[in-house]
Every structure is written in C-alpha cells, then in structure tokens.
Amino acid sequence: MDKLLTTSGGRQQLLLGNEAIVRGALEAGVAFVTCYPGTPSSEVPDTFYRLRKQNPGATRYYFEYSTNEKVALECAAGAAVAGLRTMCTMKHVGVNVAADPLMTLAYVGVNAGMVILTADDPSLFSSQNEQDNRYYARLSGLPLLEPVGPAELKEVTKYAFSLSEELGLPVLMRTTTRVNHAREPVPFQRLPKTKTQGKFEKAPFQYVTVPAVSRNLHLKLLAAQKQALAISEKSDLNKIFGSGKLGVITSGVSVNYVLDAVDDLGAKKKIKVLKLGFSWPLPEKKIARFLKSVDKVLVVEEGEPIVEEAVNAIANRCGAKCDIGGKQMWKFPPVSVDVERPKFLSRAFEYNPRMVREVMAKYFGLKQQAPRPVSLKGIPDLPGRPPNLCAGCPHRATFYAVKEVVGPDAIHPTDIGCYTLGLLPPISMADFLICMGSSVSSSGGLSFATGKKTVSFIGDSTFFHSGLTGLVNAVHNNHDFTLVILDNGTTAMTGHQPNPGVDTEALGDPTTHIDIEQVVRGLGVQHVTTIKPFKVRSAMAAIQKAVDFKGVSVIISQELCPLYARRVAPKTKRPFAVNPNKCKGHLDCIQKVACPAMFLDDQGKAQINPLQCIGCALCAQICPENAILPVKAKA
Amino acid sequence: MKELAREPLDLVITGVGGQGNVLASQVLGRALLDQGYQVTVGETYGLSQRGGAVMSQVRVTRRGVLGPLIAENQATAIISLEPMEALRVLPTYGHPEVVVLTNDRPLQPLGVIAGQAEYPQPPKLRAAIEELCGRLYWLPATEEAMKLGAPILANVIMLGALAASGLLPIGAPEIEAALAEMFPDEKMAANRQALAVGQELVA
C-alpha cells in the first residue's frame, strides 16, 4: 500500500509539497477531483491518478484529467453543488481559463467543501508569464490561503475544506513553485470515510444565474466575505513569531526566507514577524495592532505589492506611525534569459534567502555576517544548457519536414508543449505564442495581415484543451493556413498525462479514446492528412499538398513520444552510427536537426552517441551520403 | 543523532535532466529523516526533463524547520553529476571552503553539439573548480557506472562517495536503507554495488 494511503496517523513522511496537498485532501475525505495538469501543480493530479489506479479498492474518490481548466472547474462545481467534497487543481494561467466559471461560482457557492489550487510560478520556471493570482481572490471575492511548506500544505488543504463549508464558498489555495516542489517531513492524521454519494436539491432561484437571481447572490457573496474577514482576524494561519519593535509582514514562500534571516541575524528578540497564511480577506484589525506595536515594518511578498498597499492603507486608517518599507516599485532586475535572482524587493521574479536577509539587515540597520563570495576570475565562459527535444523526438522530424517544404520565410504560430522548444536554433520554428490554443486562432490574423504562408503547431492535448473552438472559427470564417497537430499520444511536457486523444487501452483506463482526425473532419476542415513523421519523404509530400490547399488544412503528425513509448509499448530499435568512410562532413544531420544524440568529434565530423540514439532514423534519411546506418547487431 | 559538520548542513545537488539527481536528493533526504534529522529538500526543475540543468538542495538541521532554498554563497558542499554544472553553480552557492564532489563525465549541451559553443576543456574545467573550492573530488562516476552495466547508477555512486567523504552525519548503510525503501529488491544488488564503488572512489 502506498504511504499516502496509510489510514492511521502517526509517522512522519518526507513528502513533496504537491503530495502533501493530496494527503491533506484525503484526510478531508475528498470525493471528487478534477484538474488540468501544468507545472508546478502537476504532481497533485498525477498523485491522485496514480493512487486511484494502483489502489482501486482503497481509494473512493472520483478523479479525472479534464480537457481544460474551465471544464475542470465546471465539472467540480456540479459535484460540489450536489454535496461532494471536491478539489480542482491548475497552474496560475489555468485560472485565466477557469476565470469565467470562477467569478460566478463565487456567487452561487457550494454545498460541500471545494478547494481550488492555483499554483503560481514566480521566475517563470516553466510558464508563459508570472502573473500574481492573489488578485483572483480580490476579483472573485473568495477566501485565499497561502501555505508556506509541505507540512503546512497538508494541514491547510484539510482545513480549506471545512472553511469552504463554513462559508458556503469555494476556497482558493495559492502555492508557488518553491512550495509545490519542496520536500519536508509531514505528520499524518487518520483518513476518514469518504462520502461519494451526493444529492441535488432543485433550487433554480439559487443556482440559475439570471440577473434577478445574481443580484441577490452578489449580496450573499458580500455577506460571506464579511464572515470570512471575521474568521481571518482570528485565524492561527495569521500568526506572529518573535518579539521586538521591528516588524516584518510576509506571506507565501517568503515566510521561510524571513524566518531564516531572523535566525541568521540573531534577531528573534528584535524582529517580530506577522505571517499571513489566511491572506484574503486580510485581517485588518490584526495588522493594525501589529503596525501600532512596532517602529518600523517591512513587507516581504513576491510578486505585486498587494499586501504592502493594503498595509499602507490600514496604517492610514488606524493612524499607525511606523515607517513602512517594501518593494521598489519602478526599479527592475536586469534583463536575462536565465532565472534571475533579484537583489532587492522587486515586483519581478522569485525572492531568495540571501537577498531577503540583506534587505532586512539594511532596512533595520542590523549587522550581518557578509558571505564570502567566490572570485569569478579565470572562470571559462560556460555554454548554456537550454532544454532540448529528446533524442528520437518525433517533433524534430515534423519540424524538419515542414521547413524543407515551406522554407524559412513561412510564419509559425506555436503553442504550449514540448514543441515550443522548436523556438531554438537550428529548428527556429516558433514565431508567436501567448497562451494555450493561440496557435490556431492567431494563424488567421497573421496570415491575413501578412499574406505569408502560415503553418502553425499545436500538440494533441493542447488541441483538445483550447484548439477546437479556434479551428471552428477558422473554418467558419475562411481563414487560410495549415495547422499541424503534433499527436504524440500523450501530454508529454507535463509528465505524460492521458488526454482525450490518447489510446487509453495501453494505460488500462476506462476512459474513451477520441480520434483526432474524425474530430477535425467533423469541425468542417476539408483537407486533412495524417502523416508518420519518421517517414520523411512521404511526410513532406503530404505537407506540400496541405500548404498548397487554399483555406484551412490540417496535418496530423502521429508518432508516440519516445519517453512515453518506453513505458507503455517498449520496443528496442538498434541505434545508428556514422560510417566515417562515407561521411563527407556536410553536417546536415547536426545543423538541421541538432539531435542530442549527435556530436562533433575532434576532426569536426558527426558522431552518434549509442547510449542516447533510439534509432528513429531521421538523420539517416537526410544524410546526403547515406552515411548513417544502423549499428550491426552483435553476433 | 550525531552532530552536523555544520549547522545547518546545506547540500547542493546538480546535474542534467535525466541523470537522477532529484532522486539522489530524495534518497538522501529520506536517509537523514530516518535518522532523526530535520530535512528540507528544494527541487528546481521545470522543462529540465528535456536535457536542461536540474538542481536540488538538501538542507539538514537538528533544530527547527528550514526554508527550501540555501542562501547564496553558503552551501556546505556541491555534488554534481556533470562537471560543467558544478562550475556553473559554484559562483552562486560556493565560498572558499566549499567541498565539491563531481562526476567527471561531460554532457554536451545543444549549442556545443551544433558547434556554436565550446565545452571547456576538462583539465581547464577541473583547474577552475579546484581554484574556487576548498576540496575537490573529481570522480569517474559514469565510467564506473558503465562498468556496472547502467550509466544511470552514477547518481548512487556519487551518494556512496558523499557518504565516504565524511560530510554527512550518516554513512552508506543508512543510505542503502533509504534506497531499499524506494526500490524493488531486484534493483538493490546494483544499488549496493554502486554505493560500494562510490565509497572506494573517495577512500
């Protein structure tokens, strides 16, 4: 039995933050879980999925990977209004997709605990922006909890369900990458019995949000916010540590850095820290008392100065005279492609312990032991290590074939998935991306405005997530472009979750497989071809026909992700090697496809690393000398 | 519970996606927790499964709970599964006394493969690391792992080396016990061998 399903309490387990969320939900008796995966939230749904699949007898909750976040939230809303404890998880930008149901679900409310996880990504480790989703609590009027580490994550998740029931509202729980991806000992409590049978009492004048109903529902939400404020004022999640006439107000992962700094500075009797774990509605009276008890206060929060501005307003209202420090609003860290560590309390990028300590020492006039840095003299320039498409990735073959057909001038709107890495040279086939699904819809605008050949890329999961409506729009309005659906049979980027197009038989899941080609034809696309990208010549011929077609054409490039195939359908192909007698050093293999299995030897000739090559044969097909051949099987 | 070589003991474990350094940090965390230490592990990955750099940080204390990040220039040791990655994190986390244990096998990034950037010559790389740290263990972990039949074992070999370096308050048997909690029995023979090889490399 998996440790996460231990029914008794007791022993501490070293858990990832995201696993702690799952355990917290299990300890709350969660019955219905929906999600769309996305870093840094993915291990939450993946753990629910794995536990359910491996222990069908010991898990009673329903779980699904939904097609997108809006769908996930609406599906969960149905279960919650019928009285089941539900959880709905997504990354920060997913909340944008779910924002429509979120705003009005806040009006309608829930009849059993509902917890919505928003996993934010300061510093953009794997996201298209670093928006601060604490604003969503203000926008929707829903309460917001911000746990700081795995042990607290488990407790807070569990508490969030009962808070949700007390208020009759969904509860937002916001994490950041450092919280989701930290590991810490987590003590367990008992698992309760799970209630999986709900009941829906018809009450259209509460649940059907026509204007006459919603006017009242808005007032109901405002009253619930008032109730939430009273709870926040008394909540132990808004807690004071230490004592002294200097103060820090902080929330989220920064709490860790502040407490580490107080320790490092030996200032437990000088600095007191107000940690805001129940951070919306803000406990205004508690903050006012805190402000009146200190001479100086520093607000430490990643992202936007949301708490800071509120603290300033509260100080004004309550007449607190303390000095209030915080972000440098209009000073920015340097521009960098790498994860940049800001040296001051900035609005951009995640914070770090040393910076927080230095800022605190300076603001409070405390002495600190200066760290001894390393001299950078004599360090050679290090080549960067950007992520890359894997050896044998079928996307590389599709990109190659499309570029051979349309040349470098075509415009390539792209989308969110591994294939976004087609951005990097030598592939360089990603020209525009704003969000999931934007490849399809933006193609119409780009091709109309430029008159240029437009070939866009979208993955299978992203296509189901938000490509469908864009494609209908394109067909309906007679757009002119080719959409390439990169169907690698899984949601590769976020860890191989199933999606509606996945052959679920291999996974043994009871879900239904939806054929992408049939869907595309059903949406009215007149020119649809499915290709096998590793058959380079025939793939190119099909692509040529598709781009010659006037109107919307779709290519479905079908080949399993090799990492996924290794798990579900392992078969070994022989690796390839370069025959040095035949190789004339054109280096097409390296310059056009840059597979990580290839490298240049001391003589500047191409070589293949047999440990990495999986035998996809792409390079063998493009070598002008036919110098790349399978390694002979050992006798 | 033994005293720590430093309080807190801050270990940076780095390498390239797919080398198993996140797993190494989990094993280490579990072994230390089993012996009663308070452990916080911070993991940095994202797109890194696709060949990018991956770092995890293991923080160990006998006192309260620590945050998930090590302060800059304050790591006790840097354990790297790839030599250039050791040098990459040194300016950020190193200081004149930091101990570095690194696998000596280079993994070329994309730019180098495509001939657009140069990988530093290994002797130069080694000299640069040596210059910047207090003590360097330059270890043929991948080479030894290939002798055992699986290059992926380099991470367990590095854990064996770490256990023998005297930096930890625990030894190889405790790491082995943690491995046994996480791996099926049939994988344990290779893991035991790898731990032993790692210890010999440092002894």
Q: How do residues B32-43 score in pLDDT, each as one tens digit?
A: 999 999 999 998
CA-closest candidate to residue A456, choices A555, A535, A569, A558: A555
pLDDT at A156 exceeding the cut of 80: yes
* Least confident interval from A74-78, A460-464, B104-108: B104-108
* Least confident interval from A301-310, A385-394, B141-150: A385-394
B46 band by pLDDT with thresholds 50, 70 and 90: low
Q: What are A413-423's pLDDT values in tens digits?
A: 999 999 999 99
Average pLDDT, stretch B154-164? 98
Would you give the DSSP letter of residue A370? -
Q: What are A4-46's pLDDT values in tens digits?
A: 999 888 778 899 999 999 999 999 999 999 999 999 999 999 9
Comparing CB atoms, the residue among A382, A424, A563 nearest residue B87 is A382
Query: Residue A156 in 3-state DSSP?
Result: helix
Q: Please state, as a whole number, how many other Cβ atoms lie within 10 Å of the Cβ of residue A616.
A: 23
Q: What are A199-224's pLDDT values in tens digits?
A: 999 999 999 999 999 999 999 999 99
Question: What residues of A are in contact with residue B65 (Cβ under 8 Å)?
Answer: 149, 151, 184
Cis peptide before A170 (omega within 30 of 0): no
Average pLDDT, stretch B175-198? 96
- Portion of chain A with pLDDT greater than 90, in percent: 85
**For chain B, first and last CA: distance in Å?**
24
The residues, any chain, with a CB within 8 Å of residue A442's CB and separated by 6 or more, are A413, A432, A434, A456
Q: What's phi and psi for A88, nearest 5 deg?
A: -135, 120
The residues, any chain, with a CB within 8 Å of residue A297's CB and separated by 6 or more, are A246, A247, A248, A249, A290, A291, A311, A322, A323, A324, A325
**A176 touching B, CB under 8 A?**
no
- Are B118 and A383 a contacting pair at CB < 8 A? yes
Sign for the CA dihedral angle at A143, A147, A150, A152 comes to negative
CA distance A537 to A353: 54
Cis peptide before A40 (omega within 30 of 0): yes
Question: What residues of A are in contact with residue B87 (Cβ under 8 Å)?
Answer: 379-380, 382
CA-closest candidate to residue A493, choices A130, A40, A180, A132: A40
CA-closest candidate to residue B24, choices B197, B200, B139, B194: B194
Could you tell me the CA-to-CA distances from A562 to A361, A463, A566, A616, B192 in Å, in that order?
51, 20, 6, 9, 30
Higher pLDDT, A599 or A537: A537
For domain B9-202, give the fold: Pyruvate-ferredoxin Oxidoreductase; domain 3 (3.40.920)
Second CATH level (architecture) for the domain A576-630: 2-Layer Sandwich (3.30)
CA distance A146 to B120: 44
Q: What are A331-355's pLDDT values in tens digits?
A: 999 887 777 789 999 999 999 999 9
- Are A383 and B50 a contacting pair at CB < 8 A? no
Question: What residues of B are in contact with residue A424 (Cβ under 8 Å)?
Answer: 110
Indicate the Cα dihedral angle A416, A419, A422, A424, nearest 10°.
Answer: 70
Angle between helices A92-108 and A69-81 (to 10 degrees): 30
Residues B53 and A386: beta-carbon distance below 8 Å? no
Write down the pLDDT at residue A36: 97
Give the strand pairing for B99-103 and B77-80. Answer: parallel
Residues A285 and A314: beta-carbon distance below 8 Å? no
CA distance A165 to A143: 12
CA distance A403 to A400: 5
Write down the pLDDT at residue B48: 53
Domain boundaries A394-568, corresponding CATH code: 3.40.50.970
A295 is written with which tokens? 């001479």
The tally of CA atoms less than 13 A away on the side-chain side of residue A314 is 22
Domain ranges of chain A: 3-233, 237-364, 394-568, 576-630
pLDDT at A170 exceeding the cut of 80: yes
Domain boundaries A3-233, corresponding CATH code: 3.40.50.970
For domain A237-364, give the fold: Rossmann fold (3.40.50)
**A370 touching B, CB under 8 A?**
no
pLDDT at A635 exceeding the cut of 60: no
**B157 touching A, CB under 8 A?**
no
Q: Is the ipTM of this complex over 0.85?
A: yes
In A293-381, alpha helices (H): 306-318, 353-364
Domain pair A237-364 / A576-630, same fold: no
A481 is written with which tokens? 């472009």
Give the position of tokens 């936007």: A304
- Portion of chain B with pLDDT greater than 70, in percent: 98
CA distance B195 to B175: 9
Write down the pLDDT at residue B49: 58
Indicate left, alpha or beta for A123 from its phi (over 0: left) and psi (-120 to 50: alpha).
Answer: left
Write down the pLDDT at residue A631: 92
B18 band by pLDDT with thresholds 50, 70 and 90: confident
Name the A residues in 402-441 with CB < 8 Å from any B CB.
418, 421, 424-426
CA distance A390 to A266: 48
**For chain A, first and last CA: distance in Å?**
44
The residues, any chain, with a CB within 8 Å of residue A455's CB and separated by 6 or more, are A402, A406, A410, A411, A412, A481, A482, A483, A484, A547
